[in-house]
Amino acid sequence: MKVYNFKNEVLMLAIFCIVFANLSHAKSEEEAAICDGNWHIELKTQSSTSEKKGQRGVWIPGTIYLDRALSQCVKEIVIKQPQGGEPLLRGTTSVHRYELKNTSRQSINTTGRNNYILPVLGQRKINLWAYIPSGKDFYPGSYQGILDIELKSDINTIISTNNYSFNFQVEPYVRAKIANSKDSWLPATGTSIRVHLGNLTQKNRKELPLFIESNSYVGISMSSLNNGYLVNLTNKKNKVPYQLLFRGQQVNLLNEAEFNINNRLLNGQKMSILFQNTPMPFARAGYYEDIITINLFAK
């Protein structure tokens, strides 16, 4: 009799365990079905801003949008490279790293594999930043970044995944200022600079020290209103020739002159323009003037 009762107890216990396991599995499936909805990520490259100093980096604002149901059940968002490692931007000829930051532009917690972990905390919008060190100085062109994103309800449960790609466009730029001065960069148009050559009955030599910076190759054109002559403002028939030298080379001002600088000026470079004249002891008294138009353009 005792053996018979023992077998019944074992049988009942086994049935109880199976029923309990089935009920737990059904509950897990029900929770997964509830934790569902639409979501997407967006990095707004058109709204990026550039640093003026420091690393001269670029900040790109981004947002992850979650449906209400997802915001309540998703605990964290994992952002990573498809092949692991640091986030990378790939261009035609170069690859550059970038970083993800939180809404305060501070570091985001990462795992040992450089996976970024963003807590959801019931939010439907999670803001973040992509920071690209020296992004403004990349060679002009298009760069692509690819990210894998996972929504997790706990550390071991992935609710949804998505693959997101974005393009970062770098435009060519060139800027200039007067070297060895505290003046800011010259505006793109409308700048007028006066160079006083001095008494034309004597030999004079004046330097205009330009400091030029660019992330690309630079073209420079120069043209003279009076084709290389200083003209008397009172009597335009009175003219005095002068010479203009750029990077040690005399410029022919009879026509527009063009120069190509075939190295990138990322750290800037001083390029002097020299004005000089031959003494003209019989020059008529008065003020003489010429207007030189200088254009800089990035290629």
**CATH at residue 182:** 2.60.40
Task: Classify residue 13: in a domain, yes or no.
Answer: no
pLDDT at 11: 35
**Regarding beta strands 218-224 and 257-261, do their DSSP bridges make them parallel or antiparallel, or are they unpaired?**
antiparallel
Quick one: 134 and 229 in the same domain?
no
Name, of 26-40, 101-115, 172-186, the range with top average pLDDT: 101-115
Report the distance separating Cα 29 and Cα 248, nearest Å. 79
117-164 confidence digits (pLDDT tens): 999 999 999 999 999 999 999 999 999 999 999 999 988 899 999 999
Q: Report how far apart, in Å, the C-alpha atoms of 112 and of each of 46, 85, 140 are.
A: 32, 9, 33
Q: Which of 142, 170, 198 is the last residue of a domain?
A: 170
Count Cβ atoms within 10 A of the Cβ of residue 276 and give its class: 0-12 exposed, 13-18 middle, 19 or more buried: middle
Assess whether pLDDT exceeds 70 at residue 201.
yes
Lowest mean pLDDT among 30-34, 73-77, 119-123, 285-289: 30-34
Check if the beta carbon of residue 139 is closer than 8 Å to that of residue 17. no
Q: Report how far apart, in Å, the C-alpha atoms of 121 and of each of 68, 151, 176 are.
A: 12, 13, 48
Quick one: 64 and 149 in the same domain?
yes
Domain assignment of residue 100, given as a range: 37-170
Q: Which of 170, 186, 219 is the last residue of a domain?
A: 170
pLDDT at 188: 80
pLDDT at 235: 92
Quick one: 132 and 184 in the same domain?
no
Q: Which helix (H) or strand (E) holds 34?
A: helix 2-34
SS3 category, 8? helix
Quick one: 90 and 165 in the same domain?
yes
Quick one: 155 and 83 in the same domain?
yes
pTM exceeding 0.85: no
Quick one: 98 and 187 in the same domain?
no
Q: Report how far apart, in Å, the C-alpha atoms of 181 and of each of 6, 184, 195 are.
A: 99, 8, 15
Backbone angles phi, psi at 247, to 5 degrees: 55, 40
Task: Classify residue 15: in a domain, yes or no.
Answer: no
Task: Classify residue 29: in a domain, yes or no.
Answer: no
Quick one: 82 and 202 in the same domain?
no
Check if the beta carbon of residue 168 is closer than 8 Å to that of residue 88. no
CATH number at residue 132: 2.60.40.3590
In one-letter notation, the amino acid at residue 126 is I
Higher pLDDT among residues 2 and 125, named by residue: 125
Quick one: 166 and 47 in the same domain?
yes
Average pLDDT, the chain: 86
Number of domains in the chain: 2
